[in-house]
């Protein structure tokens, strides 16, 4: 289980969750700027089923492209990771239920984008020992949490009192309206503070997480 990446370099990592809102401007920015991002996608968000995640703050169905959008992200260099099928609180499920959520999402992502995920972000950050067992059975190598969330407007909500970015911080965004505008604000803020945006896979591999 990982919340931040061990490094002394001034580097932070961008992750983005769910997939309710599909903003083409975001894909262009990532592609043109070669910005490393990991997207943790939920089937029901990408396919616009069920109820929107309240923590996505305004995310709504705009999934006209559905998995095409996820494939476009993949082609733009975004890594596509596991955020379950239906976005449940995994702690409320038994082992088989958790396994179905995690393995189902991994199989679907592999089928839709060609490469299977190696990371799981449990919805709401909630997990227990069964989650780790089930994730392992589904080929997931690590659970990735986060150290700060990014709010509408590109504002960083820190979990530490001094409100500073730290080397190895993992920032959590959501696919929500105005993502490309907020993303631009966020990226320039990170660079102004002298930080780079790191490639999560490369740093995890250097930290000893193996596929």
- Which parts of this chain interact with Zn ion (CB under 5 A)? 17-18, 123
Distance set, CA 84 to CA 40, 106, 155 (Å): 9, 8, 27
Nearer to Zn ion, 16 or 200 (CB): 16
Q: Which residue is nearest to Zn ion (CB)?
A: 17
CB of 110 to Zn ion, least distance (A): 20
Tally of residues, the chain: 211
**Comparison of 123 and 168: residue with beta carbon closer to Zn ion:** 123
- Closest CB to Zn ion among residues 11, 20: 20
Task: Provide the terminal-to-terminal Cα distance of the chain, rounded to the nearest Å.
Answer: 15
Least distance (Å) from Zn ion to the CB of residue 18? 5
* β-pairing verdict for 148-151 and 119-120: unpaired
Q: How many CB atoms lie within 10 A of CB 129?
A: 8
Closest approach of Zn ion to the CB of residue 81, in Å:
12
Residue 38 β-bridge partners: 15, 79
- Three-class secondary structure of residue 12 per DSSP: strand
Nearer to Zn ion, 18 or 101 (CB): 18
Minimum CB separation of residue 70 from Zn ion in Å reads: 15
């Amino acid at each position: 289980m990982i919340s931040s990446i061990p490094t002394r370099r001034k580097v932070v990592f961008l992750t983005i969750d769910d997939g309710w809102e599909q903003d083409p401007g975001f894909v262009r920015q990532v592609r043109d700027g070669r910005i490393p991002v990991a997207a943790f996608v939920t089937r029901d968000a990408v396919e616009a089923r069920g109820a929107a995640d309240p923590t996505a703050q305004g995310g709504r169905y705009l999934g006209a492209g559905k998995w095409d959008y996820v494939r476009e992200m993949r082609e733009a260099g975004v890594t596509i990771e596991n955020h379950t099928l239906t976005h449940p609180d995994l702690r409320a499920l038994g082992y088989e239920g958790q396994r179905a959520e995690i393995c189902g999402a991994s199989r679907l992502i592999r089928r839709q984008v060609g490469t299977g995920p190696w990371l799981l972000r449990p919805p709401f950050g909630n997990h227990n020992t069964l989650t780790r067992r089930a994730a392992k059975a589904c080929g997931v190598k690590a659970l990735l949490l986060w150290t700060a969330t990014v709010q509408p407007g590109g504002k960083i909500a820190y979990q530490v009192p001094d409100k500073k970015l730290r080397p190895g911080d993992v920032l959590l965004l959501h696919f929500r309206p105005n993502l490309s505008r907020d993303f631009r604000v966020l990226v320039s803020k990170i660079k102004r503070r002298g930080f780079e945006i790191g490639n999560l896979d490369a740093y995890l591999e250097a930290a000893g997480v193996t596929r």
